[in-house]
Structure 1
Amino acid sequence: MKVVVARSRREHESAITLVRQNYARRGYRTSFLTEPPAAGRSQGLYRHVTLLAQQGERAVGTLTLGLDSSAGLSVDEAHRCAVDAIRAQGRRVCELIRLAVDVGETSRSALALLVHSAYLVGRLVHRATDVFIEVNPRHVAFYERAFEFRRLGEPKMCPRVQAPSVLMHLELSQLDRRIGLARPLFQAA
Protein backbone atom coordinates (compact mmCIF):
# COMPACT_ATOMS: atom_id res chain seq x y z
CA MET A 1 0.00 0.00 0.00
CA LYS A 2 1.16 3.52 -0.77
CA VAL A 3 -0.16 7.05 -0.33
CA VAL A 4 -0.01 9.55 -3.17
CA VAL A 5 -1.11 13.15 -3.56
CA ALA A 6 -4.05 13.24 -5.97
CA ARG A 7 -2.99 15.31 -8.96
CA SER A 8 -4.77 13.96 -12.01
CA ARG A 9 -8.47 14.23 -12.78
CA ARG A 10 -8.71 10.42 -12.48
CA GLU A 11 -7.15 10.45 -8.99
CA HIS A 12 -9.50 13.20 -7.82
CA GLU A 13 -12.48 11.32 -9.26
CA SER A 14 -11.36 8.15 -7.42
CA ALA A 15 -11.25 10.12 -4.17
CA ILE A 16 -14.69 11.69 -4.74
CA THR A 17 -16.21 8.32 -5.66
CA LEU A 18 -14.83 6.68 -2.53
CA VAL A 19 -16.11 9.50 -0.29
CA ARG A 20 -19.50 9.53 -2.02
CA GLN A 21 -19.92 5.75 -1.55
CA ASN A 22 -18.87 5.82 2.11
CA TYR A 23 -21.00 8.85 2.98
CA ALA A 24 -24.08 7.55 1.13
CA ARG A 25 -23.81 4.21 2.92
CA ARG A 26 -24.09 6.10 6.22
CA GLY A 27 -26.99 8.24 5.01
CA TYR A 28 -24.99 11.47 4.71
CA ARG A 29 -25.76 14.04 2.04
CA THR A 30 -23.29 13.82 -0.85
CA SER A 31 -24.47 16.51 -3.27
CA PHE A 32 -21.52 18.76 -2.34
CA LEU A 33 -19.11 16.09 -3.64
CA THR A 34 -19.19 17.06 -7.30
CA GLU A 35 -15.67 18.42 -7.51
CA PRO A 36 -12.43 18.32 -5.55
CA PRO A 37 -12.36 20.90 -2.73
CA ALA A 38 -11.72 24.39 -4.01
CA ALA A 39 -8.11 24.29 -5.14
CA GLY A 40 -7.61 28.04 -4.89
CA ARG A 41 -4.23 29.26 -3.84
CA SER A 42 -3.50 31.02 -0.59
CA GLN A 43 -0.15 32.74 -0.17
CA GLY A 44 1.17 30.79 -3.18
CA LEU A 45 0.15 27.42 -1.71
CA TYR A 46 -2.79 25.19 -2.55
CA ARG A 47 -5.51 25.28 0.12
CA HIS A 48 -6.32 21.56 -0.13
CA VAL A 49 -4.16 18.47 -0.50
CA THR A 50 -6.06 15.28 -1.32
CA LEU A 51 -4.27 12.08 -0.38
CA LEU A 52 -5.07 8.65 -1.81
CA ALA A 53 -4.15 5.34 -0.23
CA GLN A 54 -3.69 2.83 -3.05
CA GLN A 55 -3.42 -0.93 -3.12
CA GLY A 56 -1.89 -1.46 -6.55
CA GLU A 57 -3.87 0.98 -8.71
CA ARG A 58 -7.06 0.73 -6.62
CA ALA A 59 -7.95 3.56 -4.25
CA VAL A 60 -8.65 2.09 -0.80
CA GLY A 61 -8.75 5.33 1.16
CA THR A 62 -8.71 9.09 0.85
CA LEU A 63 -8.28 12.09 3.11
CA THR A 64 -8.06 15.77 2.28
CA LEU A 65 -5.96 18.18 4.29
CA GLY A 66 -7.51 21.66 4.30
CA LEU A 67 -5.18 24.57 4.98
CA ASP A 68 -6.38 27.77 6.59
CA SER A 69 -6.63 30.94 4.53
CA SER A 70 -8.71 34.09 4.32
CA ALA A 71 -11.50 31.82 3.02
CA GLY A 72 -11.34 29.81 6.25
CA LEU A 73 -11.88 26.10 6.75
CA SER A 74 -14.89 23.85 6.17
CA VAL A 75 -15.22 23.32 9.93
CA ASP A 76 -15.87 27.06 10.31
CA GLU A 77 -19.40 26.53 8.95
CA ALA A 78 -20.62 24.94 12.18
CA HIS A 79 -17.76 25.61 14.62
CA ARG A 80 -16.24 29.02 13.81
CA CYS A 81 -16.09 30.24 17.44
CA ALA A 82 -14.05 27.25 18.61
CA VAL A 83 -11.65 27.47 15.64
CA ASP A 84 -11.31 31.25 15.99
CA ALA A 85 -10.31 30.80 19.65
CA ILE A 86 -7.32 28.72 18.51
CA ARG A 87 -6.50 31.16 15.68
CA ALA A 88 -6.55 34.04 18.21
CA GLN A 89 -3.62 32.37 19.97
CA GLY A 90 -1.53 32.88 16.82
CA ARG A 91 -1.67 29.20 15.88
CA ARG A 92 -1.65 27.81 12.32
CA VAL A 93 -4.72 25.65 11.87
CA CYS A 94 -5.69 23.02 9.33
CA GLU A 95 -8.42 20.41 9.00
CA LEU A 96 -8.96 16.83 7.92
CA ILE A 97 -11.96 16.47 5.61
CA ARG A 98 -13.43 13.99 3.16
CA LEU A 99 -12.09 10.94 4.95
CA ALA A 100 -13.18 7.61 3.48
CA VAL A 101 -11.61 4.18 3.77
CA ASP A 102 -12.75 0.95 2.11
CA VAL A 103 -14.06 -1.46 4.69
CA GLY A 104 -11.89 -4.54 4.73
CA GLU A 105 -8.63 -6.01 5.82
CA THR A 106 -6.61 -2.96 4.71
CA SER A 107 -8.82 -0.30 6.33
CA ARG A 108 -6.74 0.23 9.49
CA SER A 109 -3.50 0.38 7.51
CA ALA A 110 -5.00 2.80 5.00
CA LEU A 111 -6.32 5.07 7.77
CA ALA A 112 -2.98 5.05 9.60
CA LEU A 113 -1.05 5.85 6.40
CA LEU A 114 -3.45 8.64 5.43
CA VAL A 115 -3.34 10.31 8.84
CA HIS A 116 0.46 9.97 9.03
CA SER A 117 0.82 11.44 5.53
CA ALA A 118 -1.53 14.33 6.37
CA TYR A 119 0.55 14.99 9.50
CA LEU A 120 3.75 15.13 7.44
CA VAL A 121 2.28 17.47 4.83
CA GLY A 122 0.53 19.70 7.35
CA ARG A 123 3.29 19.84 9.92
CA LEU A 124 6.48 19.72 7.87
CA VAL A 125 5.42 21.44 4.65
CA HIS A 126 2.84 23.93 5.91
CA ARG A 127 4.02 24.31 9.54
CA ALA A 128 0.56 23.75 10.98
CA THR A 129 0.31 23.73 14.77
CA ASP A 130 -3.25 22.45 15.19
CA VAL A 131 -5.63 20.20 13.29
CA PHE A 132 -9.42 19.92 13.44
CA ILE A 133 -11.76 17.18 12.28
CA GLU A 134 -15.55 16.90 12.41
CA VAL A 135 -16.75 13.39 13.24
CA ASN A 136 -20.03 11.68 13.87
CA PRO A 137 -20.63 11.52 17.65
CA ARG A 138 -20.34 7.71 17.59
CA HIS A 139 -16.71 8.02 16.36
CA VAL A 140 -15.50 10.42 19.08
CA ALA A 141 -14.05 7.71 21.35
CA PHE A 142 -12.06 6.20 18.48
CA TYR A 143 -10.37 9.52 17.57
CA GLU A 144 -9.63 10.21 21.24
CA ARG A 145 -8.07 6.79 21.72
CA ALA A 146 -6.30 6.34 18.38
CA PHE A 147 -4.99 9.86 17.74
CA GLU A 148 -5.47 11.75 21.03
CA PHE A 149 -7.88 14.28 19.53
CA ARG A 150 -9.97 16.08 22.14
CA ARG A 151 -13.58 17.03 21.81
CA LEU A 152 -14.50 20.72 21.54
CA GLY A 153 -18.10 21.52 22.38
CA GLU A 154 -21.35 19.75 21.81
CA PRO A 155 -22.60 18.05 18.63
CA LYS A 156 -23.91 20.37 15.93
CA MET A 157 -25.43 19.73 12.54
CA CYS A 158 -22.78 19.62 9.81
CA PRO A 159 -24.30 21.61 6.93
CA ARG A 160 -22.35 19.76 4.24
CA VAL A 161 -23.48 16.22 5.06
CA GLN A 162 -26.65 17.05 7.04
CA ALA A 163 -25.64 14.86 9.99
CA PRO A 164 -24.56 15.53 13.56
CA SER A 165 -20.88 16.30 14.02
CA VAL A 166 -18.51 16.86 16.89
CA LEU A 167 -15.53 19.14 16.42
CA MET A 168 -12.30 17.52 17.55
CA HIS A 169 -8.93 19.21 17.96
CA LEU A 170 -5.34 18.08 18.22
CA GLU A 171 -2.24 20.14 18.92
CA LEU A 172 0.32 18.71 16.53
CA SER A 173 3.09 19.08 19.11
CA GLN A 174 1.37 16.13 20.85
CA LEU A 175 1.93 14.03 17.73
CA ASP A 176 5.54 15.25 17.56
CA ARG A 177 6.11 13.78 21.03
CA ARG A 178 4.09 10.65 20.27
CA ILE A 179 6.28 9.77 17.30
CA GLY A 180 9.38 10.21 19.41
CA LEU A 181 10.62 13.71 18.71
CA ALA A 182 12.42 15.13 21.73
CA ARG A 183 10.73 18.50 21.29
CA PRO A 184 7.99 19.92 19.07
CA LEU A 185 9.09 20.68 15.52
CA PHE A 186 7.73 24.22 15.51
CA GLN A 187 6.37 26.64 18.04
CA ALA A 188 3.25 28.68 17.36
CA ALA A 189 4.04 31.75 15.26
Structure 2
Amino acid sequence: MIETLAPAIPYTGLGSDDSAPDGKPSIIDVTINQRVFGIRAADIDTQRNSASMLISKMYAWRGYSGNHQIGTDPNRITLTASDAGDVFGTLSLGMDSDIGLLADQVFKDHIDPFRQRGRVCEIIKLAVDPAIKSKAVLASLFHVSLIYARDLNGCSDILIEVNPRHRRFYEVMLGFQLVCESRDNPRVQAPAVLLRVSTAYGTEQVNKLGGMQDKAVGERSLFPWFFSPREEAGIVNRLRQLG
Protein backbone atom coordinates (compact mmCIF):
# COMPACT_ATOMS: atom_id res chain seq x y z
CA MET A 1 0.00 0.00 0.00
CA ILE A 2 2.68 2.49 0.92
CA GLU A 3 5.98 0.72 0.33
CA THR A 4 6.49 1.87 -3.26
CA LEU A 5 6.28 5.62 -3.12
CA ALA A 6 7.96 7.67 -5.82
CA PRO A 7 9.70 10.94 -4.94
CA ALA A 8 8.06 14.29 -5.53
CA ILE A 9 9.10 17.84 -4.68
CA PRO A 10 6.40 19.74 -2.80
CA TYR A 11 5.98 23.46 -2.54
CA THR A 12 4.36 24.18 0.77
CA GLY A 13 2.43 27.02 2.26
CA LEU A 14 0.02 27.64 5.11
CA GLY A 15 -3.42 26.34 4.34
CA SER A 16 -6.20 28.30 2.77
CA ASP A 17 -9.66 28.74 4.26
CA ASP A 18 -11.70 27.89 1.19
CA SER A 19 -9.89 25.07 -0.64
CA ALA A 20 -12.41 22.41 0.39
CA PRO A 21 -16.14 22.26 -0.48
CA ASP A 22 -17.06 22.42 3.21
CA GLY A 23 -14.88 25.49 3.73
CA LYS A 24 -12.84 23.71 6.42
CA PRO A 25 -9.41 25.38 6.53
CA SER A 26 -6.43 23.21 5.74
CA ILE A 27 -3.50 23.05 8.12
CA ILE A 28 -1.08 23.34 5.23
CA ASP A 29 -1.26 23.10 1.43
CA VAL A 30 1.23 21.14 -0.68
CA THR A 31 1.70 21.38 -4.44
CA ILE A 32 2.85 18.33 -6.40
CA ASN A 33 3.06 18.50 -10.18
CA GLN A 34 0.69 21.53 -10.20
CA ARG A 35 -1.84 19.67 -8.05
CA VAL A 36 -2.58 21.18 -4.65
CA PHE A 37 -3.66 19.04 -1.74
CA GLY A 38 -4.43 20.09 1.79
CA ILE A 39 -3.72 18.41 5.11
CA ARG A 40 -6.76 18.77 7.37
CA ALA A 41 -8.06 17.62 10.73
CA ALA A 42 -11.14 15.53 9.95
CA ASP A 43 -13.48 16.86 12.62
CA ILE A 44 -16.81 16.79 10.80
CA ASP A 45 -18.85 13.76 9.74
CA THR A 46 -18.30 14.11 5.98
CA GLN A 47 -14.52 14.16 6.40
CA ARG A 48 -14.51 11.25 8.85
CA ASN A 49 -16.76 9.23 6.53
CA SER A 50 -14.46 9.87 3.56
CA ALA A 51 -11.44 8.79 5.60
CA SER A 52 -13.29 5.69 6.84
CA MET A 53 -14.15 4.68 3.28
CA LEU A 54 -10.50 4.95 2.22
CA ILE A 55 -9.32 2.92 5.23
CA SER A 56 -11.92 0.19 4.62
CA LYS A 57 -10.95 0.01 0.96
CA MET A 58 -7.21 -0.25 1.63
CA TYR A 59 -7.54 -2.67 4.56
CA ALA A 60 -9.88 -4.94 2.61
CA TRP A 61 -7.33 -4.94 -0.21
CA ARG A 62 -4.74 -6.15 2.32
CA GLY A 63 -7.09 -8.78 3.68
CA TYR A 64 -7.56 -7.18 7.11
CA SER A 65 -10.87 -7.62 8.90
CA GLY A 66 -12.60 -5.56 11.58
CA ASN A 67 -14.42 -2.26 11.89
CA HIS A 68 -12.43 0.66 10.51
CA GLN A 69 -15.02 3.40 10.96
CA ILE A 70 -13.57 6.61 12.42
CA GLY A 71 -15.54 7.82 15.41
CA THR A 72 -15.52 10.96 17.52
CA ASP A 73 -13.13 9.91 20.30
CA PRO A 74 -11.84 13.14 21.91
CA ASN A 75 -8.46 11.48 22.45
CA ARG A 76 -7.89 10.94 18.72
CA ILE A 77 -7.00 13.30 15.90
CA THR A 78 -7.66 12.17 12.33
CA LEU A 79 -5.69 13.84 9.56
CA THR A 80 -6.56 13.68 5.88
CA ALA A 81 -4.80 14.54 2.66
CA SER A 82 -7.41 15.71 0.18
CA ASP A 83 -7.94 17.60 -3.04
CA ALA A 84 -11.28 19.41 -3.42
CA GLY A 85 -12.85 17.04 -0.91
CA ASP A 86 -11.35 13.87 -2.44
CA VAL A 87 -9.53 12.10 0.44
CA PHE A 88 -6.59 10.01 -0.73
CA GLY A 89 -4.58 9.72 2.47
CA THR A 90 -5.38 9.53 6.17
CA LEU A 91 -4.00 8.59 9.57
CA SER A 92 -5.23 8.98 13.12
CA LEU A 93 -3.18 9.86 16.18
CA GLY A 94 -4.46 8.38 19.43
CA MET A 95 -3.41 10.07 22.68
CA ASP A 96 -2.90 8.07 25.84
CA SER A 97 -5.68 8.55 28.38
CA ASP A 98 -7.49 6.77 31.20
CA ILE A 99 -8.84 4.26 28.68
CA GLY A 100 -5.39 3.62 27.21
CA LEU A 101 -4.39 2.98 23.61
CA LEU A 102 -5.68 0.48 21.07
CA ALA A 103 -2.25 -1.14 21.12
CA ASP A 104 -2.72 -1.99 24.80
CA GLN A 105 -4.98 -4.85 23.77
CA VAL A 106 -1.92 -6.73 22.47
CA PHE A 107 1.17 -4.92 23.76
CA LYS A 108 0.31 -3.27 27.09
CA ASP A 109 3.20 -4.98 28.89
CA HIS A 110 5.63 -3.33 26.47
CA ILE A 111 3.90 0.07 26.41
CA ASP A 112 3.74 0.63 30.17
CA PRO A 113 7.52 1.18 30.57
CA PHE A 114 7.33 4.09 28.12
CA ARG A 115 4.43 5.56 30.09
CA GLN A 116 6.66 5.74 33.14
CA ARG A 117 8.95 8.27 31.47
CA GLY A 118 6.55 10.39 29.43
CA ARG A 119 3.27 10.61 27.55
CA VAL A 120 2.76 8.17 24.70
CA CYS A 121 0.53 8.16 21.63
CA GLU A 122 -0.13 5.83 18.72
CA ILE A 123 -0.59 6.09 14.98
CA ILE A 124 -3.58 4.09 13.79
CA LYS A 125 -5.82 3.75 10.74
CA LEU A 126 -3.16 4.75 8.22
CA ALA A 127 -4.16 4.47 4.58
CA VAL A 128 -2.89 6.05 1.37
CA ASP A 129 -4.42 5.44 -2.05
CA PRO A 130 -1.75 3.51 -4.05
CA ALA A 131 -2.56 5.64 -7.10
CA ILE A 132 -0.96 8.61 -5.30
CA LYS A 133 2.72 7.78 -5.77
CA SER A 134 4.28 10.60 -3.78
CA LYS A 135 6.53 10.66 -0.76
CA ALA A 136 5.22 14.14 0.01
CA VAL A 137 1.73 12.88 0.89
CA LEU A 138 2.90 10.38 3.48
CA ALA A 139 5.63 12.69 4.79
CA SER A 140 3.13 15.53 5.25
CA LEU A 141 0.73 13.33 7.22
CA PHE A 142 3.49 12.02 9.46
CA HIS A 143 5.02 15.45 10.02
CA VAL A 144 1.74 17.04 11.06
CA SER A 145 1.08 14.07 13.36
CA LEU A 146 4.53 14.64 14.90
CA ILE A 147 3.59 18.27 15.55
CA TYR A 148 0.29 17.27 17.15
CA ALA A 149 2.06 14.70 19.32
CA ARG A 150 5.03 16.81 20.39
CA ASP A 151 3.89 20.43 20.40
CA LEU A 152 0.18 20.22 21.18
CA ASN A 153 0.08 17.15 23.44
CA GLY A 154 3.54 16.87 24.99
CA CYS A 155 4.19 13.28 23.86
CA SER A 156 7.63 11.75 24.14
CA ASP A 157 7.02 8.56 22.15
CA ILE A 158 4.92 7.52 19.15
CA LEU A 159 3.92 3.86 18.81
CA ILE A 160 2.56 1.94 15.86
CA GLU A 161 1.37 -1.62 15.26
CA VAL A 162 2.27 -2.91 11.80
CA ASN A 163 2.26 -6.19 9.96
CA PRO A 164 5.72 -7.79 10.27
CA ARG A 165 6.23 -7.61 6.52
CA HIS A 166 5.99 -3.79 6.69
CA ARG A 167 8.39 -3.43 9.62
CA ARG A 168 11.46 -2.61 7.53
CA PHE A 169 9.66 0.22 5.73
CA TYR A 170 8.91 2.06 8.98
CA GLU A 171 12.40 1.45 10.33
CA VAL A 172 14.17 2.80 7.25
CA MET A 173 11.75 5.52 6.20
CA LEU A 174 10.75 6.95 9.60
CA GLY A 175 13.26 5.71 12.15
CA PHE A 176 10.91 3.45 14.10
CA GLN A 177 12.52 0.78 16.29
CA LEU A 178 11.19 -2.64 17.25
CA VAL A 179 9.65 -2.85 20.73
CA CYS A 180 8.02 -6.28 20.56
CA GLU A 181 8.12 -9.14 18.07
CA SER A 182 5.07 -10.47 16.28
CA ARG A 183 1.85 -11.23 18.17
CA ASP A 184 -1.66 -11.95 16.88
CA ASN A 185 -3.79 -8.82 16.61
CA PRO A 186 -7.48 -9.76 16.98
CA ARG A 187 -8.72 -6.40 15.69
CA VAL A 188 -7.51 -7.18 12.17
CA GLN A 189 -7.00 -10.94 12.54
CA ALA A 190 -3.40 -10.67 11.43
CA PRO A 191 0.04 -10.65 13.07
CA ALA A 192 1.51 -7.35 14.27
CA VAL A 193 4.77 -6.05 15.68
CA LEU A 194 5.02 -3.01 17.94
CA LEU A 195 7.32 -0.21 16.82
CA ARG A 196 8.28 3.05 18.53
CA VAL A 197 9.99 6.32 17.62
CA SER A 198 10.68 9.24 19.95
CA THR A 199 9.43 12.72 19.11
CA ALA A 200 12.94 13.94 19.95
CA TYR A 201 14.30 11.82 17.10
CA GLY A 202 11.71 13.27 14.74
CA THR A 203 12.72 16.78 15.78
CA GLU A 204 16.39 15.97 15.18
CA GLN A 205 15.69 14.64 11.67
CA VAL A 206 13.49 17.60 10.72
CA ASN A 207 16.22 20.01 11.79
CA LYS A 208 18.76 18.03 9.78
CA LEU A 209 16.83 17.03 6.66
CA GLY A 210 13.42 18.72 6.56
CA GLY A 211 12.65 20.50 3.30
CA MET A 212 15.69 19.13 1.42
CA GLN A 213 13.72 16.75 -0.82
CA ASP A 214 15.92 15.47 -3.68
CA LYS A 215 18.90 17.49 -2.44
CA ALA A 216 19.45 14.94 0.33
CA VAL A 217 21.54 12.69 -1.90
CA GLY A 218 21.74 9.11 -0.68
CA GLU A 219 19.17 9.62 2.10
CA ARG A 220 16.60 6.82 2.05
CA SER A 221 14.21 8.08 4.72
CA LEU A 222 11.08 10.21 4.32
CA PHE A 223 12.53 13.04 6.40
CA PRO A 224 13.80 15.13 3.44
CA TRP A 225 10.13 15.32 2.36
CA PHE A 226 9.05 16.60 5.75
CA PHE A 227 8.56 20.37 5.99
CA SER A 228 11.53 22.60 6.69
CA PRO A 229 12.06 23.84 10.26
CA ARG A 230 10.74 27.26 9.20
CA GLU A 231 7.60 25.74 7.66
CA GLU A 232 7.16 23.56 10.73
CA ALA A 233 7.17 26.64 12.97
CA GLY A 234 4.43 28.16 10.81
CA ILE A 235 2.31 25.00 11.10
CA VAL A 236 2.71 24.95 14.88
CA ASN A 237 1.55 28.56 15.09
CA ARG A 238 -1.41 27.87 12.78
CA LEU A 239 -2.55 24.85 14.77
CA ARG A 240 -2.38 26.79 18.01
CA GLN A 241 -4.47 29.58 16.43
CA LEU A 242 -7.01 27.09 15.08
CA GLY A 243 -7.01 25.61 18.60
Give the TM-score range, shorter chain: 0.7 to 0.9
Does residue 126 (structure 1) correspond to residue 153 (structure 2)? The answer is: yes
Q: Distance in 2 between matches of 1:83 and 1:123?
A: 18
Does residue 70 (structure 1) correspond to residue 106 (structure 2)? The answer is: no
| 1:74 shift after superposition | 0.4
Partner of 1:8: 44
Q: Distance in 1 between matches of 2:110 and 2:62?
A: 26
Q: Distance in 2 between matches of 1:18 and 1:166?
A: 23
Aligned residues: 173
- Identical aligned residues as a percent: 35
| 1:159 shift after superposition | 1.6
Partner of 1:147: 174
> Quick one: structure 1 residues 80 and 37, their matched pair in 2 at CA, closer, same or farther if it must change by over 3 Å?
farther
Partner of 1:51: 79
C-alpha RMSD over aligned residues: 1.5
| Letter matched to residue 153 of structure 1 | C
Structure 1 gap segments, 5+ residues each:
40-45, 183-189
Structure of greater Rg: 2
Could you tell which deviates more after superposition, 78-87 or 101-110? Answer: 101-110
Cα contact 1:5–1:49 (8 A) shared by 2: yes
Cα contact 2:164–2:193 (8 A) shared by 1: yes
| Letter matched to residue 150 of structure 2 | R
| Letter matched to residue 17 of structure 1 | M
User: What TM-score, normalized by structure 1, do the two folds share?
Assistant: 0.87
| Letter matched to residue 166 of structure 2 | H
Structure 2 gap segments, 5+ residues each:
1-36, 209-228, 230-243
Partner of 1:166: 193
> Quick one: structure 1 residues 105 and 62, their matched pair in 2 at CA, closer, same or farther if it must change by over 3 Å?
closer
Does residue 33 (structure 1) correspond to residue 68 (structure 2)? The answer is: yes
User: What TM-score, normalized by structure 2, do the two folds share?
Assistant: 0.68
